Amino acid sequence: MSEDLHHECGVVALYQLDEAVDDKPFNGREKVTENVAALVPGMLLDLQTRGQLAAGLTSYNPERDQLIDTFKDVGVVSEVFRMSRPEKYAAVIEEYAGKAAIGHTRYATAGGDDVRYAQPFERHHGRLWKWFSFAFNGTVSNYTELRDKLLSKQGYHFSLKTDTEIVMHALAHGLRGETKVDLKKVMKEIGGEFDGGYSMAYLDAAGRLFVARDPAGIRPMSWAVQGRLFAAASESVALTNIGFTEVNSLDPGQMAIVEKGRLRFERFAPSNTPARCFFEWVYFANVASEIDGAGVYRSRAATGHHLASIEDQTVDEDCIVVPVPDTAKAAADAFAYQLGIPCMEGIIRNRYVGRTFILSKDSRERTIRSKYTPLPSVLSGKRVFLVEDSIVRSTTMKILIQQIRKECGAREIHVRVACPPIVAPCFYGIDMSTVGELFAPNFVNGRYQGNPTPGALKKMATALKVDSLRYLPVKQLGPTIGVEADSLCLGCVTGKYPTKWGNKLMRRAKNNAKNGQDGRTYE
């Protein structure tokens, strides 16, 4: 994606069970001992695209005084765990050795480079079951309501500007009392109170672990078990890459619990209609992942096939297809194959450019220009079909188009987008929370039904300074992903959301935009 669009994290969990669940011992690519924490950094590397700002782990070890202990810092996974320095990395893994562990890699919508916002969050307590740590991915949409509700009570104070602190208070409240509380009961309370999309991993000093997926299934959560090893992660690739061969998805509203060394599954909330985030397939997920049985690579390739099937430009020998690196490549390859046009790497991505979303506004445009290098030798004089996975804000796309046309001499530029127009914010964990920052709403009216009119597309193309622009129709999202359309969250491409607070925040965002504000609903 040419945009600086970010997710809100990835989570992993591991537990070496007391007894094997089957007669197939785990024969992963790394030797597994009682120290499952050794597997966490590698799994988090597979989820690095979901967050690059901070990382950490919490482990459980009944043989040490710190029954659960947390290590975290600001930086990418390899920096945090000192992976480039073997002796430092080995020291971290040894110090935080344990039979159970959870891990987290973070992107921030609040907190920036403040290590206090890094996860997992640990809460100390004298009672074993009240001393816990957790890792959270997603957004609690009714965060402000829950925060105000707690602040109205005497003696409450919040030190961080994040919904994760609300989650910590909710978990602590669910664990109240003089006797150990059942974890299903705790999550049932949370599931009834939280509106939004989330997944989480939890570990306490009593040696209990759980992973859970929100009742709508907006955020993904995969799991696997083989021999004595149980593992879970935001994406399947983190499990297959350590050696699991059979990977499953938690159902919406379901949790996997390990207690007394045994694994069980519970439903903590009903799920009448799943609403899985289609953007996971379009952009966020690793191309090697599967989500709810639907492969990410196959889905992206299918979008390219469909865009080719509705192409109306005449194809000649001067045509080339160029993907915007990297997530548009599968769609571009399929688009080119279907039309019989060469697919060429006319744009090279500089993988060593810093994270532009944490740079100052003044330096961001300069950094964007260094992020991609268009190749005049490939683009000059060509009719370029530029394939992108999505257009959100369009800022980077406009700069890229200018480079391709003016600096590289492309004769024509036809942009093809493997996603419908983004016409509304996301309130479930993707960093696009205002109406005013989006490109497409400026060109579609209130009667928009998911496919821009020819007139709207022409105006969009003019604004981008390209010769033509086409999007994947909304109605094709289900077929290209390979799931039923009514099982997807389509809020950002239709303005209609699967939860009460999603729709409420959209109404608020529209009113803010009409009143000349930026449409922001919450920090």
Instruction: Indicate which residues carry an active-site annotation.
Output: 9
CA distances from 72 to 53, 57, 110, 158 (A): 11, 6, 17, 21
Continuous segment of H or E residues that includes residue 377: helix 376-379
Phi, psi of 349 (to 5 degrees): -95, 130
- CB-based contact 55:73 (threshold 8 Å): yes
SS3 203: strand
What is d(CA 370, CA 353) in angstroms, rounded to the nearest whole number? 7
SS3 376: helix
Percentages of the chain per state (helix, strand, coil), in multiples of 5: 35, 20, 45
Q: Which amino acid is at 327?
A: T
- CB-based contact 13:101 (threshold 8 Å): yes
Peptide bond into 326 cis (omega under 30): yes
Q: What angle do CA 455, 520, 114 make, to 5 degrees?
A: 130
Query: Treating both helix axes as pointing N-terminal to C-terminal, what angle do 395-402 and 361-371 enclose, rounded to 10 degrees?
Result: 50
What is d(CA 82, CA 270) in angstroms, rounded to the nearest whole number? 42
Among residues 480, 474, 485, the alpha carbon closest in space to that of 334 is found at 480
Using a 10 angstrom Cβ sphere, with 0-12 exposed, 13-18 middle and 19 or more buried, the burial of residue 363 is exposed
Continuous segment of H or E residues that includes residue 121: strand 121-123
